[in-house]
Structure 1
Amino acid sequence: MNETKETILVTGAGGNLGRLTIHWLLENYDGPIIAATRTPEKLSDLADRGVSVRQADFDQPEKLADAFAGVQRLLLVSTDALEVPGHRIKQHSNAIQAAVTAGVKHIVYTSFFNPEPGTANLTAGDHYSTEEAIKNSGLSYTILRSNLYAENLLQSLTHTVATGQYAAAIGEGKIAYVTRKDCALTAAAALASSNTDKRIRNVTGPEALSGYDIAQILSDIAKKNIVYMPLETAQLVGMYESFGVPNAVAQALASFDTASARGEYAQPSTTVQELTGQAPTSLKPFLDENYWKTVTVC
């Protein structure tokens, strides 16, 4: 990989993806690394390893340019501010403007798969608006459109195994699930690269799988029969609400399944292999590795 020794910065460095990105950079990049977070005190372990830690809050735009000072390449990790419409795009816009003011040359952005207008995913508009803001910023960019995380399946794994039913509202649709680690390594590789093209890349796992495929994989791993139970979107919303999720958030979460049912997330890509030099992780070995870490056996 052709690398630059420019100063690079990772936003959201205290989150799961941010930390995975920093860890890869510490092993593979010998230029200056900056970790930006709202809570610098929580990243003392990274500071001990030579990472410069800076405070950065996207809701405090007046301070962001200073946080990004001296940075040439910046990884903008999308936030999870979903409850208030428009909040996330405002946060991202603040970060992009600060990057321009600070003299950043290249932005790597963790977007989402197929965010264009017309998608059934109710949260995708924030990503599309952010992409447009980046394109209009005058900076070069790498936009990484990540597919659904394989980790999403772990959240209901205990219930799925206990009931023998994998319930989802994805209909006959297929999904090219990608692991968070593969997304982080891809983002790290793009950040450490000297590439200054304006490019958009899809980030996925190696194969697209249906609800029936996932049920069969779980059957093999759990060594019991698990069947796929298709739900209507309204049923899924009701399930989320029964767990205490507000209706607006429940609708947003369920829209991922609606988009999946329409085939929006079924196209595998080769981006992980091309940018990292490593093949993306398949879903079966990922679930096999995480099964006993996740499932509570009664």
Structure 2
Amino acid sequence: MAHGEGTAVTRVVVTGATGRIGGQVARLLAAAPEVELRLVGRSLHRAPQLEGVEAVRADFSDAAACREAFAGADALLLVSAGEAADRLAQHRTAIDAAVDAGVGHVVYTSFLGAGPEAGFTLARDHGATEQMLRDSGLAWTFLRDSFYADVLLDFAGEERVIRGPGGTGRCAFVSRRDVAEVAARILREAGPWAGRSLDLTGPVSVSLAEAVLLMTRARGEEYEFVDETLTEARASRASYDAPDWQVEAWISTYTAIASGELDVVSDDVEQVLGRAPLSVEESVTDPL
């Protein structure tokens, strides 16, 4: 691990370094001379190759590997595990490892409105993980991200059609770049943000019909939103042969928007970064 001379060093460990958020946080922190950085991931060949930065292979289900990877961390970015039936068990193992390793502060990537009643089913896992961290004795900051604006491109796919039961509900989609920049800023100096839950949203709330118009304008190619019924949504996802809980999670992405519970615009991105968050148009023009 490398750092500049004559500066107070903050030892930061970034999990999920092979993913888009974790990888971007790593790139941002690698440029900070006061940060001593360690990357953690499962498939390290997909992690950013950063000169002088240590990379360690560890899986959230491997307590011993996590303890070793987290050792000495003043701040840990805990990027939530991918969709999996045992996701909460993975988070429990990682949090226990962080306690055992003496981690100073955990920054956790959560979700807007996380809790047991959340319409987006995976946000219930986030709420349970937040409670684990509250109960752990660790210092924490929760980044409660809205849906990522960049992911709208994935939803649309090659056909450039977003299909789902989203109705006329609105969501302030947030740029992955903003989430990564907020995380990097807090990891460098976590103290002022201890015990805070930050709602990370875009600057304006839009419906999916409005979002595809913004995408069309920004990218110069036509996008469409098809508002499905629940029956249609299940039928159009049947070909993926995914387990029921996962299909319900995918569909709840749209029903959570339709319900209005994600019609939230926060100034927390601006509070941390000192600038307005990126728009949907900016996010899809230069996606992370």
Q: TM-score, normalised by structure 2?
A: 0.89
Distance (whole Å) between structure 1 residues aligned to residue 234 and residue 191 of structure 2: 42
Contact 1:34–1:51 (CA under 8 A) maintained in structure 2: yes
Counterpart of 2:59 in structure 1 is 57
In percent, how many aligned pairs have the same letter?
31
* RMSD across aligned positions (CA): 2.3
Aligned counterpart for 1:261 among listed residues 258, 263, 266: 258
Q: How many residue pairs are counted as aligned between the two chains? A: 280
Contact 1:7–1:72 (CA under 8 A) maintained in structure 2: yes
Letter in 2 for 1:8: V
Counterpart of 2:24 in structure 1 is 20
Distance (whole Å) between structure 1 residues aligned to residue 105 and residue 218 of structure 2: 43
Counterparts in 2 of 1:64 and 1:223: CA distance versus 1, 3 Å = closer
Letter in 2 for 1:239: S
Task: Answer yes or no: is 1:272 the counterpart of 2:269.
Answer: yes
What SS does the corresponding residue of 2:153 show, helix, strand or coil?
helix
Distance (whole Å) between structure 2 residues aligned to residue 151 and residue 200 of structure 1: 23
Contact 2:27–2:48 (CA under 8 A) maintained in structure 1: no
Aligned counterpart for 2:174 among listed residues 152, 172, 178: 178
Counterparts in 2 of 1:232 and 1:189: CA distance versus 1, 3 Å = same
Counterpart of 1:100 in structure 2 is 99
Contact 1:233–1:257 (CA under 8 A) maintained in structure 2: no
Unaligned runs of 5+ in 2: 1-6
Contact 1:4–1:192 (CA under 8 A) maintained in structure 2: no
Counterpart of 1:237 in structure 2 is 234
Letter in 2 for 1:79: A
Counterparts in 2 of 1:14 and 1:288: CA distance versus 1, 3 Å = closer
Distance (whole Å) between structure 2 residues aligned to residue 134 and residue 219 of structure 1: 41
Counterpart of 2:131 in structure 1 is 132
Letter in 1 for 2:170: K
- Cα drift, residue 27 of structure 1: 2.1
Q: Which moved more, 1:139-148 or 1:117-126?
A: 117-126
- 1:233-252 CA-partner distances (Å, limit 9, x unpaired): 23122212234444432211
Counterpart of 1:39 in structure 2 is 43
- Cα drift, residue 55 of structure 1: 2.2
Contact 1:4–1:193 (CA under 8 A) maintained in structure 2: no
Counterparts in 2 of 1:244 and 1:277: CA distance versus 1, 3 Å = same
Aligned counterpart for 2:77 among listed residues 27, 51, 75: 75
Task: Answer yes or no: is 1:169 the counterpart of 2:165.
Answer: yes
Counterparts in 2 of 1:289 and 1:109: CA distance versus 1, 3 Å = closer
- Cα drift, residue 151 of structure 1: 1.8
Distance (whole Å) between structure 1 residues aligned to residue 53 and residue 187 of structure 2: 15
Unaligned runs of 5+ in 1: 291-298
- Cα drift, residue 68 of structure 1: 1.2
- Cα drift, residue 39 of structure 1: 3.2
Contact 1:29–1:192 (CA under 8 A) maintained in structure 2: no
Counterparts in 2 of 1:199 and 1:29: CA distance versus 1, 3 Å = farther
- Cα drift, residue 228 of structure 1: 4.1
Counterparts in 2 of 1:29 and 1:175: CA distance versus 1, 3 Å = farther
**For residues 210-229 of structure 1, what are the structure 2 equivalents within 5 Å?**
210-221=207-218, 228-229=225-226
Letter in 1 for 2:71: A
What SS does the corresponding residue of 1:34 show, helix, strand or coil?
strand
What SS does the corresponding residue of 1:75 show, helix, strand or coil?
strand
- Cα drift, residue 29 of structure 1: 4.6
What SS does the corresponding residue of 1:214 show, helix, strand or coil?
helix
**For residues 199-210 of structure 1, what are the structure 2 equivalents within 5 Å?**
199-210=196-207
What SS does the corresponding residue of 1:237 show, helix, strand or coil?
helix
Counterparts in 2 of 1:51 and 1:224: CA distance versus 1, 3 Å = closer
What SS does the corresponding residue of 2:35 show, helix, strand or coil?
coil
Counterparts in 2 of 1:43 and 1:289: CA distance versus 1, 3 Å = closer
Counterparts in 2 of 1:224 and 1:104: CA distance versus 1, 3 Å = closer
